[in-house]
Amino acid sequence: MSETKQLLDRDGNVKATVVIKERLAVLGESYEGYTKELNLVQWNEGAEKYDIREWSPNHNVVHKGVLLTAEELDALRNYFLSEAGITVKKAS
């Protein structure tokens, strides 16, 4: 189920729209209740990307984060698996 959020600037104007297509994982939580999450998102009607960033409890405030394509996320996964000593087979 998608969730659309409009993010506002300090004057109350819409500065960005994000559609959270799928919440994939909570990676951590701060003492203020913010959660660092991995989500599949669409920013400002752009292409779907994987997004890692901190969100406020109501998802109306976000901190800077990282957007990754599916290929970039796969490369990151392969890096972590390699660091853990797990061999990654390339698709042929």
Number of H-type helices and E-type strands within the chain: 1, 5
Q: What is the mean predicted confidence (pLDDT) over 9-36?
A: 91
β-sheet with 3-8: strand ranges across = 3-8, 14-29, 35-43, 48-55, 66-68
Specify the pTM. 0.82
> Does position 89 have pLDDT exceeding 80, yes or no?
no
Domain positions in the chain: 3-83
φ and ψ at residue 53, rounded to 5 degrees = -165, 170
CB contact at 8 A, 42 and 19: yes
> What CATH number was assigned to the domain covering residues 3-83?
2.30.31.70
> Does position 52 have pLDDT exceeding 90, yes or no?
yes
